[in-house]
Structure 1
Amino acid sequence: MAEPVVSTILTQLALLTSQELKLLWGVDKEVEKLISNFQAIQAVIEDAEYRQVKELAVRHWLDKLKEVSYDIDDVLDKWITTSKKFQMKKVENASKLWKKVSISFDCFFCKKVSLRHEIAFSIRDLKETLDTIAMEKNSFNFSPTVSTSTQLEHKITTSFIDLLEVQGRDDYKNTLINLLLIESSQAPIIHIISIVGMGGIGKTTLARIAFNDDKVNTHFDKKIWVCVSVPFVETNIAKAILESLTDVAPNVSELETMLRKIRQSLEGKKFLLVLDDVWTETPDDWKQLKNSLKCASKGSKIIMTTRKESTAKIMGATNMIPLGKLSDNESWLLFTQIAFFGKTKEKCEKFIDIGRKIVDKCKGLPLALKTLGSLLSLKSEVEEWQRALDSNLWGIDKIEAELFPTLLLSYYDLSSILKKCLSYCALFPKDYVIEKDALIKLWMAQGYLGNEEMELVGEKYFNTLVMRSFFQDFEKSEYDNNIIRCKMHDIVHDCIQSIAKNECSYIEFESPTMPQFEISTKSIRHVLIKLSSIPPYILNLKLRSLVVETERNDFTLNTSLSKKLTCLRTLALNLGWGKANLEGIKNLIHLRHFELHSITTVILSEALCDLYNLRTLDLTGCWNLRKLAQGIGKLVNLRHLLILRTFSLEYIPKGVERLSCLRTLNKFIIAGDGYNKKACTSLDCLKNLKLNQRSLELELGNVRDINALKLAYLESMKNLLDLVLRKWRHINIAFPKLKVLRFGYLTEWKEWHFETSEYTDEDSTIFETSECIDEDITIMPYLHFLSMIDCPELKAIPDQILRTPTLQHLEISDCDILRESYKTEDGRSKFSHIPKITID
């Protein structure tokens, strides 16, 4: 996918002011030519992306375009970064008159002057390369407009079906038929039932089953089947409906005339209309046609099949049936019905074990099961079945001819930037659990989400891919039903990987010096590896993403290694309790996403704070990390600071309050005495930040100033659902929308009230007194889950909390007094209305 890179470059060029161009010593004309070439290429690149599927020469041209585009992107990003850092340096030193500062600033200025020469020469060289590529463009006769239908053919479907070839789907079939037969006075005039699912999942088959059901046949006066596909043209659909109703091809072409004839044919009649394979997302596309159908008798139904949930909603679906994959048993029956057809039971025996493995490979996708079953029905040797099992599915001609185009239709219906977001998922191995928020941050690092409100854009893109059936096996939050994690179907993954194979790669094998496969192209930009060390040939690639997942290993990013990874936008290290040495981090000037997971020992160098472009710093699980870089306030573009499970972390540097772009800080430590000059000692440090997160862990140090503990300073966190309080002795409630509240390790906490009136340090314990609170007042009216862990001195949970009507689960562990009180009849009566109670 070259289009997003081209768009990024044009945006960067627009950011360069005329003054900055003059500083590049005479390359303003070259920059003008770059802009002209990229604009011309951008106009036809969509056609090139489509044509590369069938034309090898176009694919090679796009590869060359991507190579030079990435190189230009790196050069421009380096120049913009240096310019911004230079401006920051001027502001920092504006009021400092010391000679030492002046010398330091002069050195920085000299480096910038030297960099201008370097960038000017690079732009000239790259401009010449782009000139050649732009000239080659003309030989392909690309079109500035293109339609998916000109490149990939949509199969025309009919209503005919051999029911002997159908396995499973009984629940779905019964649901659909019941919806068709049900009569209700509350039903709308046009009752639309949508079947939604990925390509090849069996939507059309299910519609055919219902269309040909005996009860359905007798229930409707008229039945009509129309294959819609792309584009959605009302005149074509009206013509198909009219032909089905009259059994004669209409000799009129005017939409008005056809709609009048349809009304005449359907008036007062109960009809069933199937619109198969609908793709449109424009409500007006079928507004007139829909209105013409309202003349029919009440009880008329429309079945619509689509891959896009958004289409179902736009078309006005009354009911939606999300079609899932076949069960293991249904998959086996469907496969064997085709693959074993005509074979005796004895001949089938030798294929059963390997056949089950092949069925597993299809992951419940009916089209894949049918295609492979049909292919293998002609194979009589076990070795031939084994080759089908061992091969990549896209290496099998029959699969490529029948299944691959079906899935490609969904891919090429996406916008160019959504194609890029989806193809990036080829970085992950099959069956990989994809964390939604983590994926959005990875997209952000690659520049796919623009520059403003990136998280909202990423959420929108993710939901679009969900609604278009690219993801499955969703894990949702029990509190607000938002998707947290998902997977990609293996065969969809194969399809996406085949598209992105020249850009994304997953590598896993025993020895880094003896790979099981050879990287055949230098155009790979994103790599996920599961190795004990980075193989040498990886360093010859101009990587933009390097994700390392390994067990109990050490990683050293020395200066020599970092200079070979200078193009990185993402560096993610999950070392399984290994150690990390990051002395060379300062060379990764383009880095946007830096992730250290589950690392035993790591010391964050102050050089980290020179990474001007950093958007995400994820230190989750670095349990031995004692200090963050003190100059963290210099990371002015940082949006996400993730530090959960950093149990040894002593404090949050005071500079965090200067991070105006920060959207997530999922753990905050209120430091006590001894850190006053360099640490955040009050929640006041967060009050001006625009944090927009769903969970927060607050840890309390040895704080003596009660005003430092006011949770009201966090009132701007409107989306907070989950609050964890650790080592607290004072509880003040300030979140009326909170759904999850966890208390942990509050060993000296005795009383829980809501209004603080005095403070005492007797036994190092903060006590609270309060005036009587009206019994009708409910605190935290949306609370769903309350957890109390290791609060042995706490005497009671306030009635205002316990009577929260939404409270579904109360967890009490290592809370001696609370546990004992629950044993009494009075104590049990206070908890009796809560559906789930866990007491350890």
Structure 2
Amino acid sequence: MGGVGKTTLAQHVFNDPRVDEAKFVVKAWVCISDEFDVFKVSRSILEAVTKFTDDSRDTEMVHRRLKEKLSGKKFLLILDDVWNENQLKWEEVLKPLGFGVQGSRILVTTRSKEVASTMRSEVHSLKQLHEDHCWKLFAKHAFRDDDDTESNPECREIGMKMVKKCKGPPLALKTMGSLLYNKSSVSEWKIVSQSEIWEFSKERSNIIPALALSYIHLPSHLKACFVYCAMFPKDYEFEKENLIHLWMTENLLHSRQHSETLEEVCQQYFNDLLSRSFFQRSGDAEELFVMHDLLNDLAKYVAGDIYFRYELGQTNKIQKVTRHFSVKGRYNEYFDGFGSLCNTEKLRTFMPIDSSLHINMSTIHELLTKFKFLRILSLSHCSNLEELPDSVGNLEHLRSLDLSWTKIKKLSEKICSLSPLQILKLNHCMDLEELPSNLHLLTTLCRLEFTWTKVRKVPPGLEKLKNLKVMMNFFEVDHSMESGIQRLGKLNNLSHGLSIEGLQDIENPEDALEADLKNKTHLMSLTLGWKRTGNSIDSKKAEDVLENLQPSKNLKELSIINYGGNKFPKWLVDDSLPNLVSLVLRNCESCQHLPPLGLFPLLKALKIIDSPRLVGSLKGAFGDRSSLESLVIAKLDAECFPDENLLPLSLAKLTIYGFPNLEKLDYKGLFQLSSLQSLALYLCPKLQCLPEQGLPQSISNLNIYRCPLLIQRCQRGGEDWEKIAHVQYLDIDY
């Protein structure tokens, strides 16, 4: 049965501390869903193991790489929502998994007993929740607190009847409870309880009545937003921000206050659907979400033919009423056009779902000429796309254009004639060097993204677009007016992260004030960098420039690179950055003292690179508080690590990187770090031994990379490693 909690239980197992105690070196989670293609499943497992996208061209290559990654290691693999009943396919997937060490485990969730039989595995069938547990789960979502259940006896009685009608699945109980949460009158509860939907034929439609009822009682604007997700395949992970942008450009807003932006309204819509259990978080990722399979079925059922999900190879035709089209294929497959599959010319959305899908140029030309009513066009990850034809100017209704992860080198100026365009995304277009000069003519443009490109100049006139939010991760200062630091001051809505390079070219430090970083409240991450030249460093000028680049108090991550000043700015030594979580100081060799780190109540991560004097000032830098969890110290010429108690007791992860002359880790304070869980030693070719007192018992991960002498000692048994849950030796040849 769907919705009984199989995936939830597997997640609890996956994240249980006792699993960590079992010393699994590799833990991986893979969603399988309907399709069980051996190559695709094996590649998904490999990507889950390595945490990287894989470019293997065939099953043999994937299996070879997977064998290399798992050989000699104990692993835990979760395969979620498996439907395959083909014994031969399962045995093929198992081949490289057999090279893990004894004690490795594969946990599978499935609705089919035949799948369990095919896998020849131990079966644990989840039973329906006990009636008392059903009520508690329902009441948790339906009532504000325990007192409400006692003060509303009629609602309690009605609720108990509905709990019985839900017939056990936790998903049904949660969504039904969430539906009734904002219904305070007995009459409203009775209307839901007496609905004819309870007699809905699940055998005919595969839709649980409780979920159908929850949808029917949604406000009309939330219904439209939910149904739009019918384009997503099962188990598809989507970003909250991207879905909100789709809603915005489809104009799915119901109403809003004058003080609210479109994005703020859509944020509220998303949160409403999340609170009603129509969406759920995907693992620990803050911005990744999924829909339960049963809710995905519901969206598709309600959407009918208006929303069409196409998988390469299927023969179903796109109906005349279809307006929204998504396409999904296997790795490296080409979508080579609609051909006779398409019976409409009024598509409003075209969106590839699989990032490995390719679209040939004739299909792109067909899109731009045939479907003139397109509002949303995504060609993201179309790796063969090097230019967008001028025929893009035909799309007079286009509101969103996503060309991210393509080989686009230059954008047609025809884009500037698309007057309704609201969103333009060009992220990871690594060959793109400049933006169209007339972007300021797009008066409706509210979002422009061009992170990880070669674009270094902001087109003139963008400051005229008062509602424009810009995402750019790189701005290079030079002596020209086109790239002067002052240009940033006119972009009030810079968001996410930004790296400003070439600060040595600011001639007048007062110009830095005009960047107005203090009022860039949406900027969460900032890198401020100078380029080291053969010329002598004007330390006073560098200090004044940095002082005038004070960021917003909302900033969470700050990096200062190649700074030539002798002291840090006032805003870094007072309490001007209360939300700072991460601080990187690289090649700040003239600075002798760290900022008082105790003034940053949320600071969790600190990196000190190529700055020996700052390492010496670690002691005492934390004051009375010590919330730092991660510390990286890199690229020093020291022969031994300082043997005084420099580090805060709260430290959970310590990385020592690039010490060419370090012979011994003679740091007695290391043993006292009772919170230390991970120790990483990288590129220390002369390092031979760890502290005589040993390592803290709290350590569960030890990573050694390119430290050949220490690795040899480890392999000879010169150290006691039995207490370490995860010892990893990488690349032992220096």
C-alpha separation between the residues in 2 aligned to 1:175 and 1:728?
A: 64
> Is 1:526 matched up with 2:324?
yes
C-alpha separation between the residues in 1 aligned to 2:276 and 2:640?
A: 50
Partner of 1:609: 416
Counterpart residue identity of residue 336, structure 2: S
RMSD: 4.7
> Is 1:754 matched up with 2:561?
no
Gap change, CA 1:402 and 1:435, over 3 Å in 2: closer
* 1:99-110 matches, cutoff 5 A: none
Gap change, CA 1:439 and 1:816, over 3 Å in 2: same
> Is 1:568 matched up with 2:528?
no
Partner of 1:836: 653
Partner of 1:102: none
Partner of 2:501: 700
C-alpha separation between the residues in 1 aligned to 2:270 and 2:552?
A: 29
Partner of 2:218: 414
**1:443-502 Cα distance to aligned partner (Å, 9 max, x none):** 01101136861110011000000111101234566xxxxx41110011110111011122
**1:611-640 Cα distance to aligned partner (Å, 9 max, x none):** 222221111111121111122222222222
Partner of 1:660: 466
> Is 1:434 matched up with 2:241?
no
Secondary structure of the 2:235 match is coil
**1:82-127 Cα distance to aligned partner (Å, 9 max, x none):** xxxxxxxxxxxxxxxxxxxxxxxxxxxxxxxxxxxxxxxxxxxxxx
C-alpha displacement at 1:803, in angstroms?
5.4
* Structure of higher CA gyration radius: 1
Gap change, CA 1:567 and 1:172, over 3 Å in 2: farther
C-alpha displacement at 1:434, in angstroms?
1.1
Alpha-carbon contact 2:502-2:529 (below 8 Å) kept: no
* 1:91-106 matches, cutoff 5 A: none
Alpha-carbon contact 1:699-1:728 (below 8 Å) kept: no
Aligned pair partner of 1:825 in 643, 649, 660: 643
> Is 1:490 matched up with 2:293?
yes
Alpha-carbon contact 1:507-1:528 (below 8 Å) kept: yes
C-alpha separation between the residues in 2 aligned to 1:167 and 1:749?
A: 66
* 1:70-85 matches, cutoff 5 A: none
Partner of 2:440: 633
> Is 1:196 matched up with 2:65?
no
C-alpha separation between the residues in 2 aligned to 1:780 and 1:171?
A: 49
> Is 1:685 matched up with 2:490?
no
Partner of 1:505: 308
C-alpha separation between the residues in 1 aligned to 2:337 and 2:420?
A: 25
* 1:208-607 matches, cutoff 5 A: 238=154, 307=176, 309=178, 312=181, 398-400=202-204, 403-449=207-253, 453-475=261-283, 483-510=286-313, 515-519=314-318, 521-530=319-328, 531-536=334-339, 537-538=341-342, 540-548=344-352, 549=354, 551=356, 553=358, 555-556=360-361, 561-575=367-381, 577-583=383-389, 584-607=391-414
C-alpha separation between the residues in 1 aligned to 2:160 and 2:247?
A: 38
Provide the identity percentage: 23
**1:256-311 Cα distance to aligned partner (Å, 9 max, x none):** xxxxxxxxxxxxxxxxx969569xxxxxxxxxxxxxxxxxxxxxxxxx97635585
Gap change, CA 1:600 and 1:240, over 3 Å in 2: closer
Pick which of 546-555 and 454-463 moved more. Answer: 546-555
**1:534-561 Cα distance to aligned partner (Å, 9 max, x none):** 3234484311111124537465487664
What is the TM-score of this pair, normalised by structure 2?
A: 0.54
Secondary structure of the 1:546 match is strand
Gap change, CA 1:836 and 1:564, over 3 Å in 2: same
Gap change, CA 1:399 and 1:805, over 3 Å in 2: farther
Counterpart residue identity of residue 428, structure 1: F
> Is 1:624 matched up with 2:423?
no
C-alpha separation between the residues in 1 aligned to 2:621 and 2:515?
A: 18
**1:33-55 Cα distance to aligned partner (Å, 9 max, x none):** xxxxxxxxxxxxxxxxxxxxxxx
C-alpha separation between the residues in 1 aligned to 2:613 and 2:460?
A: 36
Counterpart residue identity of residue 315, structure 2: Q
Gap change, CA 1:539 and 1:834, over 3 Å in 2: farther
Aligned pair partner of 1:785 in 605, 626, 640: 605
Unaligned runs of 5+ in 2: 1-124, 165-172, 186-198, 329-333, 533-541, 572-585, 658-734
Alpha-carbon contact 1:571-1:591 (below 8 Å) kept: yes
Alpha-carbon contact 1:749-1:793 (below 8 Å) kept: no
Aligned pair partner of 2:550 in 714, 734, 742: 734
What is the TM-score of this pair, normalised by structure 1?
A: 0.48
C-alpha separation between the residues in 2 aligned to 1:712 and 1:778?
A: 28
C-alpha displacement at 1:532, in angstroms?
2.9
C-alpha displacement at 1:610, in angstroms?
1.9
C-alpha displacement at 1:681, in angstroms?
1.9
C-alpha displacement at 1:427, in angstroms?
0.7
C-alpha separation between the residues in 2 aligned to 1:794 and 1:565?
A: 61
Gap change, CA 1:310 and 1:579, over 3 Å in 2: same
C-alpha separation between the residues in 2 aligned to 1:170 and 1:839?
A: 53
Alpha-carbon contact 2:423-2:448 (below 8 Å) kept: yes
Unaligned runs of 5+ in 1: 1-164, 178-192, 198-202, 204-209, 211-223, 227-233, 245-272, 279-303, 317-370, 372-393, 478-482, 757-764
Alpha-carbon contact 1:652-1:671 (below 8 Å) kept: no
Counterpart residue identity of residue 593, structure 1: S
Gap change, CA 1:558 and 1:472, over 3 Å in 2: closer
Gap change, CA 1:655 and 1:670, over 3 Å in 2: farther
Alpha-carbon contact 2:237-2:282 (below 8 Å) kept: no
Gap change, CA 1:500 and 1:649, over 3 Å in 2: same
Alpha-carbon contact 1:471-1:488 (below 8 Å) kept: yes
Alpha-carbon contact 2:456-2:476 (below 8 Å) kept: no
**1:41-85 Cα distance to aligned partner (Å, 9 max, x none):** xxxxxxxxxxxxxxxxxxxxxxxxxxxxxxxxxxxxxxxxxxxxx
C-alpha separation between the residues in 1 aligned to 2:530 and 2:327?
A: 39
Partner of 1:651: 457
**1:354-398 Cα distance to aligned partner (Å, 9 max, x none):** xxxxxxxxxxxxxxxxx9xxxxxxxxxxxxxxxxxxxxxx9xx64
Secondary structure of the 1:825 match is coil
Partner of 1:56: none
Gap change, CA 1:540 and 1:168, over 3 Å in 2: closer
C-alpha displacement at 1:437, in angstroms?
0.3
Counterpart residue identity of residue 327, structure 2: I
Paired residues, number: 467
C-alpha separation between the residues in 2 aligned to 1:445 and 1:585?
A: 18
C-alpha displacement at 1:416, in angstroms?
1.2
Gap change, CA 1:654 and 1:315, over 3 Å in 2: same
Larger fraction in helix: 1
